[in-house]
A and B are shown apart, each in its own frame.
Chain A
Amino acid sequence: MSGLIAIVIAGLGTYTSRALFILALANRRIPHGVSVAMEYVGPSVLAALVVALLTAPGQGGLPGAAELVALLVATLLAWKTRNHLLTLALAMLVFWALGALL
């Protein structure tokens, strides 16, 4: 139930972020400070999210070596190839291979 409520609130908030200027503020500009902050929202939130996932309660604090090496591989591949599918496939292969070896 709380999951459904969370989805509905997130949905309303998301719609508002898409509609705000189109429906209500067509003649306004985004304040400079806000647009600068938004540039940094993506990298900051998503990086924080990766760490939050790796240090999830019940996983026992530090992530294992297989996870860390696989994410390092993912970082390099994403940077060099900009290909989601390739990055996902090779990082998972590294994760499985190291998991089997270690």
Chain B
Amino acid sequence: MTSTRQTVRRGIIDALPLFIPAIPFAFVLGVTILHAPLSALVGWSSSWVIYGGASQLTLITLLSDGAAVAAAVMAALIVNARHLMYSAALAPAFQQQPAWFRWVGSYFLIDQVFALCVLRKHLPPEEFRAYYLATGLTFWLLWCAATGLAIIIGPTIPSEWGLGFTVPVMFTALVVMGIDRWPKAAAALIAAAVTFLAADLPHRSGLLLGAAAGIVFGLLYEGSRK
């Protein structure tokens, strides 16, 4: 029992520093929700219904932008497609877990939880479960609290500050930090160029066309290397 308690404490301590980069993100999301054609409560509910910062920001920005609901949802789900990789990588560790934990644990599988828990997938099942739940619940509580707080203090910020611009800045930072090889930079530039050229398509569907162009370039490039 003491060992479980230590594992839980370890999980919480490991999670806290990884939450720091999410704080400006929570703030930007809060500002976006306040400017969106949604009630603050519905906007905040995305923090626990979807529970994924980049996809929440994608969905709510596109909805505020007048995109069709289908296009906005599609874009948010494409942003979240990377979770399939996490799910596949952790599936063997989850095979030794009870059914309730496979259902509940899946909900908490965000980038940071994956990064921490994939390193401990060979722990004994009870310890893995304790560590996973400790990191998962820590991030979840902090994220719901931080986005809620951002929505509450957001209205005190004057609109002349142009804080809406924090959204493209945050996404730019995410693009750049996700690029580890030049073909990914090329894919990002192609996606940007095609989206720009397709800006007049209805319901903001140029975004999906641009994203598809970048992904197709990646597939063609990787295919040509074989």
Contact = CB atoms under 8 A, between A and B. Distances in A.
B64 to A, nearest CB: 9
Contacts of B112: none
B82 A38 contact: yes
Contact of A37 (B66, B169, B215): B215
Contacts, number: 276
A92 B166 contact: yes
Given A29-B88, A41-B215, A48-B214, A19 B178 contact: no
A30 B63 CA distance: 31
A41 B78 contact: yes
A3 B192 contact: no
Contact of A92 (B66, B105, B165): B165
Contacts of A96: 161-162
A77 B95 CA distance: 42
A10 B178 contact: no
Contacts of B167: 53
B191 A47 contact: yes
A44 B24 contact: no
B32 to A, nearest CB: 10
Range of interface residues on chain B? 35 or more
Contacts of B213: 44
Contact of B94 (A22, A47, A88): A22
Contact of B69 (A5, A13, A40, A91): A5
Nearest to A1: B42
A37 B206 CA distance: 19
Interface of B, secondary structure class, is helix
Contacts of B194: 48
A80 B122 CA distance: 35
A13 B46 CA distance: 13
A21 B59 contact: no
Given A36-B222, A50-B172, A17 B77 contact: yes
Contacts of A14: 50-52, 55, 76-77, 80, 83
B52 A71 contact: no
Given A33-B219, A44-B215, A52 B169 contact: no
Contacts of B52: 14
B179 interface: yes
Nearest to A57: B66
Interface in A3-50: 3-11, 13-15, 17-23, 25-26, 28-30, 33-50
18 contacts: A3-B42, A10-B55, A11-B49, A21-B88, A22-B106, A40-B187, A40-B215, A43-B214, A44-B190, A45-B79, A46-B174, A47-B175, A48-B207, A52-B65, A53-B171, A55-B199, A67-B168, A95-B162
8 A-B pairs closest in CB distance: A44-B214, A40-B218, A19-B106, A48-B210, A11-B49, A47-B188, A78-B176, A21-B87
Given A43-B214, A44-B190, A45-B79, 12 more contacts: A3-B36, A14-B80, A21-B88, A22-B90, A30-B85, A48-B195, A51-B210, A74-B173, A78-B173, A78-B176, A82-B177, A88-B28
